[in-house]
A and B are shown apart, each in its own frame.
Chain A
Amino acid sequence: MYTLLKRTAPVLALLGLGLAGCQPELEAPGADKGSADFSRYIAVGNSLTAGFGDNGLYLEGQLASYPNLLAEQFKTVGGGDFAQPLFNQPNQENGSGYLRLTGFTATGNPITAAVANNLAVRATTPQALYTRYDAPVNNLGVPGIKLSDIHTAGYGSVAGNPYFERITPASNPLQTYFQRVKAEAATATFFTCWLGNNDVLGYATAGGALGPAAITRTDTFQLKANRIINVLTANGAKGVVATIPNVTNVPFFTTVRVAAIKATFKASNPALSLYIQTSSGVREATDADLLTLTSSAAIGTTTPGNPFPVGAGLSATSANPLPSQFVLDAAEQTLVRDATTAYNTALTAKATEKGLAVFDANAFFSRIAATGIVSDAVNNTAAFISGNLFSLDGVHPTPRGYAVIANEMISAINAKYGSSLAQVNPNNYRGVRFP
């Protein structure tokens, strides 16, 4: 036996060596910046650029903003620090406040509650103002801003947009968004520009009740889009221009369905149906009409002095229709779609003229709505709550949603500038949190 051990010892030793050398190594893919220079990146845009979600702007969302995710990838190819106006003061991480999911009703409808502690609110009257952020910022995303607002003096004053106010120099409260972008663009080498969503979104989420004037005119849109892209590229910076997604694809309009509401009414009385107030009068709703997420709280509630709950009615009387603000009817959808198409034509034409990368967010969100997007065995869809991509407000993405947006932008950048930036792993960013 001893002889055997002696004879096999070298073999065993070899095996040990073999095992140590057995672990395979896969080389990390190289990253290259191509023809772009990411050393100073600025992000121009609205709530989507700020990292808004769950009907609020708060620290977790800001950290998962697509510009912040892009900047992390840019750093692998010479990108510089990327400053955001974070709500990072102690006990202010909840920023403007936001919605959280607290559970489901017996019928499976989500119940949400407002997070109202640890806010960064410094004043509430005449309007809410948030803790100022006076340090330099690279993320110029301002929730609520329309492209039509960029030349409005005082938009960053205490009477203007509180998100722009908190980053507008106190010494220059009348500085417009355009002027601010111009100042930042002077030293920027790379930019993303995703403006224009709110020029049609406000009209849509209010169910068209504000009237067609709430949609920014196409000629105004084109003029301002051209001006801001001109100023962003004035010093030779390269960048990405994103198009405007058709908002009717988001859960805010796709979760509450006419057919389902009708079925509920008819279950209690086959003569009942869903009636809606449109700009051309009251009529029975059809499957082509979109109901807002907020309508679920109104539909079926009782109103004093009316025999029918809100929305439910008989064709003979069509009494108590669902108010216009809860319905984007077929005619209103056409206005939204036409405006979106016209905006995107303007944005794409200008980006092409300047040789910029284009992130076609409209095509991307249409694809998401149709097929979803898979990330490492996880199926992400445009479904409310369960789809992982849209936050509790039904319009803004979750961190997961922002991650897939960042990946699409990276694809557009790599294709245009010959860079080889790695994508981010969407599964490292959360969908909706469940209690």
Chain B
Amino acid sequence: MTLKSLLLVSGVLLTGTAASAGGYQVTLAGQKNNGMGGVGVGLSLDQAAMFYNPGALAMVKDRGVQVGVNATMARQAFRSQYGGPQRELKSNIVTPFNLYAGFGSEDRKFAAGIAIYTPFGNKVEYADGWEGRYSLTGIDLKSIYVQPTVSYAVTDKLSVGAGMVILAYGAVNLQKDIPVEGAAGAQPAHVELDGKATTKIGFNAGIYFKPTEKLSIGASYRSKIDAKVEGGDVKFTNVPASLGSRFTATEFDATLPLPATTSLGIGFMPNENLTLGFDVNYVEWSKYKILQFDFRGNNGAGGLVSPSGQVGGSNISTSRREYKDAVTLRLGGQYLLTSGLTVRAGGSYDFSPVEDGFVTPETPDADRIGLTLGASYKFGSFGVDISGQFIDLKKRTQTEADLVANNTADRVAGTYKTRVLIPGIGLNYTF
């Protein structure tokens, strides 16, 4: 019963997070993996292999269904270059989820499955009146990937697999205040961009090799998908009437790259109770050069003669991102304590794709250290996995002079410090 109701619930849960990995990537795809520093490419733990390494799916011992959900709780402190109080985020909890169902042939040569997970997402909501309000007051970026997957065991030591990665759902909501002054005491002028991404298809593939009982290695790749919003809504509020002709847009187009990831992983099984994993992820963030919005439409606020598609007197908005490719290192292990109970621990170090002077309020990124704990308990065919992650982002400062020098003055000068706590729970049923 629990499984069924959770499945139903997960369908309506919001995805996205205040980024649990570099940039707006979310690596919370498997509840067992979450407890082990996010390793999984060189292992064949459970159905989440479809995400981590589809090549390993055929080597997963059991077939089954599993679902997991995480509660991402980000806490941030920001201090403006210009002094003033410490600013903190509004307390949001976002819930990235994952769902897998895998089946195999009798002879264990073939396996197939479907995965639903949330590889990218980002939700940040700043306190009212914070210093960066003209850059961002809030963002909610969501993506759901659906991935039919097949895997084939070439030999009992080598298996390969691939999946069709479908961006089934993508949405963005981005809001900020507009730096124009209305009457004394008037609410700040505000713009909201809200749109859904068109469905896009990519792929992932992996290979898994287990030469001995004590060693396994794997490699996987997930392709880039450009999430594209066409005809998203532009909504203005509290814009002074006399400036209507400069704020006439009703629609926007934008593209956000969801970058390709290449991963390598190694697993060690020194004895039958202990499993250790080490993963390296390489994310091609350098595809994210600029964030551009194109505006069109005419809401008539400026009368018939006013130009169409204006946001602040312009029908295009570009902002430099200039991300660089980034590496994440992961180390984790699990130990079978009793026949039912497995405990896990791990850690990760995530190099930020965001260069100095390019930090934006929507992704206040920095190098991050992650520490994780986890446990599973099995009751026959049922299993429960719990995990907890603590992620500490390095303190990061940029001055107005840095921003001006980088032509990135559309963001805010000051110091960010962020920590994220992510408890998660998963249920699985194997057969």
A260, CB-defined interface residue at 8 Å: no
B82/A424 in contact, CB under 8 A: yes
Q: Which of A7, A14, A28, A431 contacts B86 (CB 8 A)?
A: A28
Alpha-carbon distance A48/B419, docked complex (angstroms): 45
B131 neighbours in A (Cβ, 8 Å): 376, 425, 427
A422, CB-defined interface residue at 8 Å: yes
A4/B76 in contact, CB under 8 A: no
A126 neighbours in B (Cβ, 8 Å): none
A434/B180 in contact, CB under 8 A: yes
> Nearest residue in A to B189 (C-beta to C-beta)?
A434
B16, CB-defined interface residue at 8 Å: no
B77/A379 in contact, CB under 8 A: no
A376/B88 in contact, CB under 8 A: no
Shortest B117–chain A CB gap in Å is 23
Shortest B362–chain A CB gap in Å is 12
Whether A22 touches B134, Cβ cut-off 8 Å, given contacts A377-B411, A433-B182, A435-B240, is no
* Total number of A residues with any Cβ neighbor in B under 8 Å: 41
Q: Could you give, for residues 313-351 of chain A, a 1 whenever the CB lies within 8 Å of some chain B CB and a 0 otherwise?
A: 000000000000000000000000000000000000000
Whether A377 touches B82, Cβ cut-off 8 Å, given contacts A15-B421, A425-B131, A427-B131, is no
Shortest A10–chain B CB gap in Å is 11
A19/B421 in contact, CB under 8 A: yes
Q: Which residues of B380-401 have CB atoms within 8 Å of chain A's CB atoms? A: 384, 386, 388, 390, 395, 400
Q: Could you give, for residues 382-393 of chain A, a 1 whenever the CB lies within 8 Å of some chain B CB and a 0 otherwise?
A: 000000100000
> Nearest residue in A to B423 (C-beta to C-beta)?
A15
Shortest A69–chain B CB gap in Å is 12
A281, CB-defined interface residue at 8 Å: no
B80 neighbours in A (Cβ, 8 Å): 376, 425
> Nearest residue in B to A106 (C-beta to C-beta)?
B305
> Nearest residue in B to A399 (C-beta to C-beta)?
B181
Q: Which residues of B66-84 have CB atoms within 8 Å of chain A's CB atoms? A: 73, 75-84
Alpha-carbon distance A270/B407, docked complex (angstroms): 42
A305, CB-defined interface residue at 8 Å: no
Q: Which of B82, B183, B415 contacts A423 (CB 8 A)?
A: B82
A423/B179 in contact, CB under 8 A: no
A423 neighbours in B (Cβ, 8 Å): 81-83
B404 neighbours in A (Cβ, 8 Å): 374
Shortest A178–chain B CB gap in Å is 36
Shortest B188–chain A CB gap in Å is 11
B384/A24 in contact, CB under 8 A: no
B179/A378 in contact, CB under 8 A: yes
Q: Could you give, for residues 20-42 of chain A, a 1 whenever the CB lies within 8 Å of some chain B CB and a 0 otherwise?
A: 00111110110000000000000
B409 neighbours in A (Cβ, 8 Å): 374, 377, 379
A11, CB-defined interface residue at 8 Å: yes
Alpha-carbon distance A425/B77, docked complex (angstroms): 18
> Nearest residue in B to A60 (C-beta to C-beta)?
B184
Q: Which residues of B330-386 have CB atoms within 8 Å of chain A's CB atoms? A: 373, 375, 377, 384, 386
A19 neighbours in B (Cβ, 8 Å): 73, 75, 421
A412, CB-defined interface residue at 8 Å: no
Alpha-carbon distance A23/B132, docked complex (angstroms): 19
Shortest A391–chain B CB gap in Å is 12
B181 neighbours in A (Cβ, 8 Å): 430-434
Whether A377 touches B132, Cβ cut-off 8 Å, given contacts A26-B415, A427-B179, is yes
> Nearest residue in A to B186 (C-beta to C-beta)?
A433
Alpha-carbon distance A134/B209, docked complex (angstroms): 90
Alpha-carbon distance A435/B184, docked complex (angstroms): 10
A434/B179 in contact, CB under 8 A: no
Shortest A386–chain B CB gap in Å is 8
B395 neighbours in A (Cβ, 8 Å): 26
Q: Which residues of B49-95 have CB atoms within 8 Å of chain A's CB atoms? A: 73, 75-84, 86, 88
B184/A11 in contact, CB under 8 A: no
Q: Which residues of B228-245 have CB atoms within 8 Å of chain A's CB atoms? A: 240-243
Alpha-carbon distance A60/B404, docked complex (angstroms): 31
B411/A4 in contact, CB under 8 A: no
B417/A24 in contact, CB under 8 A: yes
Whether A101 touches B242, Cβ cut-off 8 Å, given contacts A25-B86, A374-B409, A377-B410, is yes
B132/A376 in contact, CB under 8 A: yes
Alpha-carbon distance A422/B421, docked complex (angstroms): 33
B377/A4 in contact, CB under 8 A: yes
A352, CB-defined interface residue at 8 Å: no
Q: Which residues of A65-117 have CB atoms within 8 Å of chain B's CB atoms? A: 101, 103-104, 106
Whether A425 touches B84, Cβ cut-off 8 Å, given contacts A24-B77, A376-B132, is yes
A304, CB-defined interface residue at 8 Å: no
Shortest B347–chain A CB gap in Å is 15
> Nearest residue in B to A8 (C-beta to C-beta)?
B386
Q: Which of B83, B403, B419 contacts A22 (CB 8 A)?
A: B419
Q: Which of A26, A28, A374, A435 contacts B183 (CB 8 A)?
A: A435
Q: Which residues of B144-182 have CB atoms within 8 Å of chain A's CB atoms? A: 179-182
A374/B386 in contact, CB under 8 A: no
Alpha-carbon distance A435/B238, docked complex (angstroms): 11
A106 neighbours in B (Cβ, 8 Å): 305
Shortest A222–chain B CB gap in Å is 35
B423 neighbours in A (Cβ, 8 Å): 12, 15
Alpha-carbon distance A422/B81, docked complex (angstroms): 9
A375 neighbours in B (Cβ, 8 Å): 82, 400
A407 neighbours in B (Cβ, 8 Å): 82
A104 neighbours in B (Cβ, 8 Å): 242
Shortest B278–chain A CB gap in Å is 25
B135, CB-defined interface residue at 8 Å: yes
B418, CB-defined interface residue at 8 Å: yes
Q: Which of B86, B180, B182, B411 contacts A26 (CB 8 A)?
A: B86
Q: Could you give, for residues 400-431 of chain B, a 1 whenever the CB lies within 8 Å of some chain A CB and a 0 otherwise?
A: 10011000011111010111110100000000
Shortest A99–chain B CB gap in Å is 15
Alpha-carbon distance A347/B125, docked complex (angstroms): 50
A434 neighbours in B (Cβ, 8 Å): 180-182, 240, 242-243
B132 neighbours in A (Cβ, 8 Å): 376-377
Alpha-carbon distance A29/B83, docked complex (angstroms): 8
A422/B83 in contact, CB under 8 A: yes
> Nearest residue in A to B420 (C-beta to C-beta)?
A22
> Nearest residue in A to B425 (C-beta to C-beta)?
A8
Alpha-carbon distance A103/B242, docked complex (angstroms): 6
Closest 9 A/B residue pairs (Cβ) = A422-B83, A434-B240, A425-B82, A377-B135, A24-B417, A374-B409, A377-B134, A23-B75, A24-B77
Between A and B, 13 residue pairs with Cβ closer than 8 Å are: A11-B375, A15-B388, A23-B419, A25-B77, A28-B79, A374-B409, A427-B131, A430-B181, A431-B181, A433-B181, A433-B184, A434-B182, A435-B242
Identify the A interface with B (CB < 8 A). 4, 7-8, 11-12, 14-15, 18-19, 22-26, 28-29, 60, 101, 103-104, 106, 374-379, 388, 407, 422-427, 430-435
Besides the known contacts A8-B375, A24-B418, 19 further A-B residue pairs in the complex with CB atoms under 8 A apart: A15-B421, A18-B390, A18-B421, A22-B390, A24-B75, A24-B419, A26-B77, A26-B395, A28-B86, A101-B242, A376-B131, A377-B135, A377-B409, A388-B179, A424-B82, A425-B80, A427-B131, A434-B182, A435-B240
